[in-house]
Each structure stands twice: as structure tokens, then as C-alpha cells.
Structure 1
Amino acid sequence: MNNREKYRTVRGYELLKRDKEQLTHSMEDYMEMIYRNAMKDGYIRMNILAEQLNVQTSSATKMVQKLAKLGLLHYKKYGVIHLTDQGKEVGNFLLQRHNIILEFLKLLGVEDRILTNTEVIEHGVNIDVLKYIHLLNSFFNSDPLVKEKFEAFKENYDNN
């Protein structure tokens, strides 16, 4: 940590991040889910999006309208949602980030509430840390013996 960096509360870090970026955590979740569906079908319907995110359709509509104003997607009332090119880039990044964190937790052996833990971590990780996590995932996956050694170390560690 350099001398100019100061400690903050988690909320303080979130506010700093929000000043630099346009998307809230909730917006990111919507974009990731829209992107997941757009990869398969090219679009998603509002009722399906709401169902997949376990929210009311009215809440999903409000969020989609906000994302449309940011130029990330196209939506017409009672129609389908299509991502813009910028929305596809954002969605792709968010899905990759999710998958990197999920893979990392699996490599560590996390099983309990893995999706919840992935969601919490992915919103707080910065791009530089994400790159190192991806690098570590790649390192573990590059050699099965590395994973085996880690598993043995972990088992021995847990038994002490």
C-alpha cells in the first residue's frame, strides 16, 4: 500500500468506485444475466429476466430502462431486450469476471454457498486483482500435480 492510499469503510470504497464507474452492483448483475441469455438466443424477454434474477417484473423494467439510457441495450415496452455493441462488451467482461472468481473458489475447494460467495467477491474485486486471480487459476490448471499438491497441503492443514 502506498503512502497516499487511505483506509476506508467498505461503503467508502463503493462510493469511490461509483464515482469512477457508471454501473452499480445491481446493474452489473442485470447486464451479466442479459448477456448470458443474449449469447444463447440473441435477446431476452423482461418476464424471463425478472424470473432469472428473482425480482418483480416492474423492478426489472426500471433497471432495464436505466441501462437503455446508458446505451447498453435496446428495449421497447412489451418487447425484447437486445444488447448494443457496448452492452455486449460490458456483459462479456462481467461474465468473464464471474467465471474467473467461480473457478478460483472451486480450485480452493469452496463448496458451501459458492454462488453467493462468487457474487460478493466479483463486485468488490478490481481489474488488477482479477488479472492475478486469472493468472493463478491458469497456473493451477497448467499442471495437475500443482492441484494435487495443493489438495494434499489443504488436507494436512485442515487436520492440524
Structure 2
Amino acid sequence: MPQTDNFYTLKGYSLLEHTKITSSMEDYLEMIYRLSQDSQPVRIKELAECLHVKPSSASKMTGNLKKQGLVRFEKYGTVSLSSDGNHLGEYLLFRHQVLTRFFSYVNQKSSDLEQVEKVEHFMNPETVYNIQKWLDKFA
């Protein structure tokens, strides 16, 4: 009989990671990082529009990010990244860009946003950086 001790469900692997930030939180943080690149204040309404969610949902999630120490946010105010939030947001955007390049190359499309969005949350940093190295060498 084959060895199966190391297999888990997707939920099982997630529980093993003990992460405090969810995939949805990553999406919000990445978008806040993107929007903050032009040094303009990020408003909840703008964040909600970019993510195609209701402002109340964006406000609630921003509150969750605040509890994690990743953003500064006062209700009805603007959102800004903490130092940790900026660092993580920078990585999340990098990961997104690397996977966009990768899937565009593999699938011969100018953009494969849906594929990237579905996969990016399951990639560990080592794999992302190795894909980046591969792309720099071969693509």
C-alpha cells in the first residue's frame, strides 16, 4: 500500500499553516497597496469599487486588517498601510505580477487575471521567487 501519511485536504493544509491572514485579506491588502502607490489617501468607497464589493464589506475587512496591525483606519476615514502592511502588500503585488507573467507566458495570453487570482493564495514565497528566476532566465 502506498504511503499516504502526508496528504491532507486543502482545508487541512490551511490549518497546518496557522496563518492569521486569509485569502480575502490578502486581496484587500494587495489592492490597498496598489491604490496607495500614487501617495493619495485610500478611501473605503474606492477600495470597494476596485474589488467589486459593497463599502460595508470593505470597511469590515479593513477593520480586520487593522486588528492584524497591517493598516491604520478610522471609520469613515482613509486607509493607510502600517510598515508591516506595506511590506506584505509589496510582496503580494510582486507575487501577483510574477504569476501574471508566468501564466501569460504558459497560456500565450496577454493577461490571465482569473487564473492568477485563483492560484496566487496557494503559492509559497519560495515557489514564487523560483518562478521569477525561471522567467528571468527563459521567458
For the 8 Å contact 1:42–1:82, the answer to whether it is kept is no
CA contact (8 A) 1:43 1:83 kept: no
1:76 is matched with: 74
Give 1:7's aligned residue.
7
Q: Which runs of 5 or more structure 1 residues have no equivalent in the other structure?
A: 142-160
Structure 1 segments, 4+ long, off by >4 Å, are: none
Counterpart-to-counterpart distance in 2, 1:59 and 1:11: 24
Higher Rg of the two aligned structures? 1
In structure 2, stretches of 5+ residues that fail to align are none
Amino acid at match of 1:6: N
Between the aligned partners of 2:14 and 2:115, the Cα distance in structure 1 is 18
Within 5 Å, which residues of 2 pair with 1:8-157? 8-17=8-17, 19=18, 21-111=19-109, 114-141=112-139
Q: Secondary structure at 2:37's aligned position in 1?
A: helix
- Counterpart of 1:40 in 2: which secondary structure? coil
> Is the 8 Å Cα contact of residues 34 and 43 (structure 1) preserved in structure 2?
no
Q: TM-score, normalising length from structure 2? A: 0.90
- Identity of matched residues, %: 36
